[in-house]
Every structure is written in structure tokens, then in C-alpha cells.
Structure 1
Amino acid sequence: MLRASVDLGTNTCLLLVAEWDEVKGEVKKIVFDTTSIVRLGERVDVTKLLSEVAIERTLKTLKAYADKLRSFALDPGKAICVATSQARDAENGAEFFTRVEKETGLKFEILSGKDEAHYTFLGGILPGMQTSKTAVIDIGGGSTEFMAESGGLSLDMGSVRFTERYFKTKPGMPISDQQFWDCQEAVDQMLEKVKTWRNRLPNDTQLLAVAGTATTLAAYHLSLVRYDASLIDQVVLTRGDLHRMVEELKWRTAEERRQLPGMEQGREDVILAGTLILWRSMELLGFQNCRVSSRGLRFGVLNMA
């Protein structure tokens, strides 16, 4: 039986079509899996509105996704479609999703931060991992979720949100040292809210990083020419790896980052903020390393059907 999901975030929009095992309640085979950078949440942190340019950009992708679902003989209206941080923040979010349903047939549910963390945890776990000894971090464009089997939390701290707040630069210019330190201080302050959650977890808990920041860093770490999920799922990054990546990224312009191996096109301007969030999370929460998963929310929400 085929099931499909669409995960619409602040920065990306993902479509998954998979064979679903009804007995085990899990994905049996990935049929189609794709990601598009739409930046729907562009400037939402400031304006609290989805811009017309971002709306049109996203609608174009969603119309293509609806057509792809029909090519698999699937009804777009029955796909499990979820939206996250930008939809929670935008005052015109409801109006946008009404238009989406009218023009594409896709029906979206806006997840709370708690539900987003829950389904990300369910979807991110890789085969063979023990859920009781795993904690998931999902660095999105507008928020970051921390989740373990015992529960979790969501913070309004993401790669797009913090890039727009702290890393504004003129085209062709790198960020300044002061901008970097201001952003790091803000990340560290946000992470104070996570320490109680971390203290409840076993010391040997394995951190698992999902979503675009993590998979891009894994591809960069491997110098991948072409994205390969099977290789991404084997990557383990140490705190030293993340610190080195932060140092390598912060002195480069967005254009220079775009040329780095494994860099997902369209993510070069926000990758530094995402990397900083992951590195500081590992440092302040006492994780020596993190494994990377190419899976995540789009897999977890298939359980909602």
C-alpha cells in the first residue's frame, strides 16, 4: 500500500511516497523522495506574514508535487500534508493553505512544536537504533526540536530565522566577528531551556540529527558530488568536526559556500546558522558526537493516516 506525505517547512518542502507495511507500521520501501528549497518563511520572523513572492514560489512546487502524486495514481487530497514553524508564525497562514487546497488539492495540517518533535522522532530513527537510547535534534528554518522517547521541546531558533536576525550582510561580503558572536550568544541563551531535558536522559544517549542542515553537513563531510541517503545515514559527526565546519563556513561568503562539496544549492546563506546551532547544542548539552539521518518528519507523519 502506498502512502504519501508532504512536509512544508520554513526553508524546504519535501515529498515522500513509500510502500507502507500495515502490520509493522513502518516504511517498507521508499518509492519517491524529493526536497525543494522554497523559503516560504522568508522574513516571517520580522513581518509575521508570508510574502507574495514566497507564496508563489511555494505554490509552484506544491502544484508539481500534486502532479507527481497523480502520476502514482494517488489522490493529493489523501496525502498527509503538514506545515511547521512558518505556518505557526504567519498571520496569513490560514489564507495561504485555503488557496493551496483550492489550487492543488493538498490539505495541510499545521503541527504544534510538540507534535512536530514527536513525529520527527518517530520518523528520524534509523533501523537498528534503540529508541530508549536516542535523542533527535531537528534544526529547521524557523525552529529547532529536541525529542527523546520520554518527551521533548521546540525552540524558535532556526537556520533561516537566525540568519535573518544576525547574519545580514551586503552581497559578496562575509559576516563580521561581532555578528558571529552575537548569534552564538543568542543560541547559547536559547539552549539553557534544553538543559533540564538533557539532564533527564541517560549519559550514553546517542544524538541523532535530522533535516537539511544535518544532511548537508554530512554531504560536505563526505565531499559528496551527488546526494546519497545510504551514505548520509552512516555519518557520525564529532564536536570537533562541527567546530571545524563552523570555522570554515564563517569566513566565507554565501557564494563561496555554494562552491563547497556537498552543499545543497539554496542553503548556502543559512548553513552557517544551522551549523552553529548543531555545534553549540552538542557542546552545551554534553553530546560527544551525533549520527545523521536522512529521514525525519515526512517519515514520522505517515503514522497519522
Structure 2
Amino acid sequence: MKIAAIDLGTNTFHLIIAEQNGTELEIIYKTNQPVKLGEDITKDNLIIPAAFERGINCLKQFKEELDQHHIVNLKATATSAVRSAINGQDFVTAAKAEAGIEIDIIDGDEEAQLIYEGVKLSGAITGKSLIMDIGGGSTEFILCDEENLIWKKSYNIGAARLMQGFFKSDPINEIDQQKIQQHVANELKALKVICEEYKPETLIGSAGAFETFAQMLLPELDIKTISTAEISFAAYQNLATKLISSSHQERAKMDNLIPLRVDMIVMATLLTNYVLNEFNINNIKLSTYDLKMGVLQSLRD
């Protein structure tokens, strides 16, 4: 039986189709589009008309692909951009009317749960770990080990939100960096308390920016075929310094850095640096499995 998941992220819409064979899931189709639904969303808390139209057009294309695969069992989930926008429900209504796709707007708690389920499938969790999923609108943190989800929380500190609020210089200057660090520290007080208690040893980055880090550091890595990979702490630190100190033009020329992330990768890097430094973590892993895999897992018989 074929099952499918659509993840309507703040920056990117993802479609993944899998064949369920017993207990195994075989991915048979995967695509994404940089819709930028959250473009300028922090100004009036609205999905702007151009982004609204891009989103609906993308879903129409996804529907054509779903129909070609004869998909009946589908779950489409919308996260930060849609749930926080004043016209988020209008987008859901338009998606049903124009693209024939029903969307569930999930809250941050369910989003974090699905991310955990996806990352767990990857095999990346070994020992006390902190999962971090940097989205455009929100960032989810999950404290866990191989057996248990210990704690989870979603914060409105996604890369696009941070960029719209704080990215005022290029290369980003010390003052803007300090403003971001202070904002993040104020937001993550509860995370600091739980990490001081449980002391996670590994940071697991769920897809997104961490796939970019991994591909920039390990160009030979085939992201499409792996579920998890180690990221050298020292190599990451060197890359982080390079990304933060570079201009937009310089980053645009870097290998394996897609246009959508040329600026947002700076926000993701500053956020990752804060977590690594504040919680004394020096082991980093990538999980290519994220919310989408968690959604597929929830659809299995």
C-alpha cells in the first residue's frame, strides 16, 4: 500500500510517497519546493498574496503527482507559518477548494512529537540526545534517549523569523549577533533548565540546515540515500565561523549551499552555536528523517 505525507513548512513544502511492505517503508518519491510561505510574515502576521499563490500552485502540482501514484492515504500537515498567520485558515480552505488537499494545522507539541518519531526511525538516537529541528517559523527541541521522549517544546525562533527580525547587516555584525543571542537565551530558558538536569551529550540536527552543514562539510555524502551521519564538531566550528563572517555574495558562491538558505543559514548557525556552547555539547549528528517520516509512520497500518 502506498502512503504519502505533505509537510507545509514556512520556507519549503515537501511531498514524500512511500510503499508500505510489512514493517518496512520504502520511499518511492520525494520532492520539495521553496515556496517561502512565511515571506514577510512577521510584519502583519499575514501570508502575503504572492506567497499564498505560490503555496496553492505548489499544492496543485503535488496533487497531480499524488494522483499519478493513486494515493488515497495522505496526511498534509501545516506548521508555524499557517498556524500563526491571521489568514492561515483561509489558506487551508483554498487548498481544499483549489488543489483538493485537506490540511491539518498541527500545534508545536504535535510537531515536536512527529519530529521525534521520524528521527527515531533514522537510528540517530544513541544515549542522551537533544534533537533540534530548525524550521523557518519555529524551532523544535526534543530531549530523548533510545527508549524515551523525555521533554519536547516548540519555539517561535525559526530561521526566517530571526532573519526578518534581526538580520540588519551583511556580513552580520557583532551587535546584531548579540541581539540574536540575547533573544534566543530569553526564549530558551526552559530548555536550559532541562538540559542542565539531563545533560545531553549529542545534538541531533533534523534535516534542513543540518543537511546543508553535512553536505558542505562532506560533499561526497548522498543525503538522499542515508538516514543519519556524524558531523565533525571541529569541522562544523570552522564552517560556522566562515558562514557567519561571510557576505551574502560570498555565501552565494559556496558549494552545496542552496539559494533559499544563503542568508537563513547564518541564523541557523548562530542558533546551533548557542545550543552547543550553552549546553556543553560537542557531538553532532544529522538525521535526514524528520517530521515527514514521523507523519508517514503515523499512517502505517
Residue 229 of structure 2: SS of its match in structure 1? coil
User: Could you say if the C-alpha distance between residues 222 and 232 of structure 1 is closer, same or farther in structure 2, counting changes exceeding 3 Å?
Assistant: farther
Determine the C-alpha separation between the residues in 2 that align with 1:304 and 1:120: 11
User: Could you say if the C-alpha distance between residues 16 and 267 of structure 1 is closer, same or farther in structure 2, counting changes exceeding 3 Å?
Assistant: same
Identical-pair percentage: 29
The equivalent of 2:206 in structure 1 is 210
The equivalent of 2:25 in structure 1 is 28
User: Could you say if the C-alpha distance between residues 144 and 197 of structure 1 is closer, same or farther in structure 2, counting changes exceeding 3 Å?
Assistant: same
User: Could you say if the C-alpha distance between residues 59 and 254 of structure 1 is closer, same or farther in structure 2, counting changes exceeding 3 Å?
Assistant: farther
- How far residue 227 of structure 1 moved from its aligned partner, in angstroms, is 5.6
The equivalent of 1:51 in structure 2 is 48
Matches within 5 A, 1:73-152: 73-75=70-72, 78-130=73-125, 133-147=128-142, 148=144, 149-152=149-152
Determine the C-alpha separation between the residues in 2 that align with 1:204 and 1:41: 32
The equivalent of 1:284 in structure 2 is 278
Q: Is the 8 A contact 1:152 1:197 kept in 2?
A: no
The equivalent of 2:180 in structure 1 is 183
Q: Is the 8 A contact 1:80 1:304 kept in 2?
A: no
**Which deviates further from its counterpart, 110-119 or 264-273?**
264-273
Determine the C-alpha separation between the residues in 1 that align with 2:89 and 2:200: 42
Partner letter of residue 278 of structure 2? L
Q: Which residue, out of 241, 250, 275, partners 2:269?
A: 275
- How far residue 183 of structure 1 moved from its aligned partner, in angstroms, is 1.5
1:261 is the counterpart of 2:258: no
1:61 is the counterpart of 2:55: no
Residue 260 of structure 1: SS of its match in structure 2? coil
The CA deviation string for residues 217-240 of structure 1, in whole angstroms up to 9 with x for no partner, is 11111135x9633357323241x4
Q: Is the 8 A contact 2:12 2:32 kept in 1?
A: yes
The CA deviation string for residues 208-265 of structure 1, in whole angstroms up to 9 with x for no partner, is 11131111111111135x9633357323241x44432232112322232122111122
Determine the C-alpha separation between the residues in 2 that align with 1:250 and 1:80: 37
Partner letter of residue 103 of structure 1? E
Residue 276 of structure 1: SS of its match in structure 2? helix
- How far residue 132 of structure 1 moved from its aligned partner, in angstroms, is 6.3
The equivalent of 2:193 in structure 1 is 196
Determine the C-alpha separation between the residues in 2 that align with 1:213 and 1:143: 13
Q: Which residue, out of 219, 222, 243, partners 2:215?
A: 219
Q: What RMSD in Å do the two structures reach over aligned CA positions?
A: 2.1
1:40 is the counterpart of 2:31: no
Structure 1: give runs of 5+ residues left out of the alignment.
none
- How far residue 187 of structure 1 moved from its aligned partner, in angstroms, is 2.1
User: Could you say if the C-alpha distance between residues 261 and 235 of structure 1 is closer, same or farther in structure 2, counting changes exceeding 3 Å?
Assistant: farther
Determine the C-alpha separation between the residues in 1 that align with 2:163 and 2:122: 34
TM-score, scaled relative to structure 2: 0.90
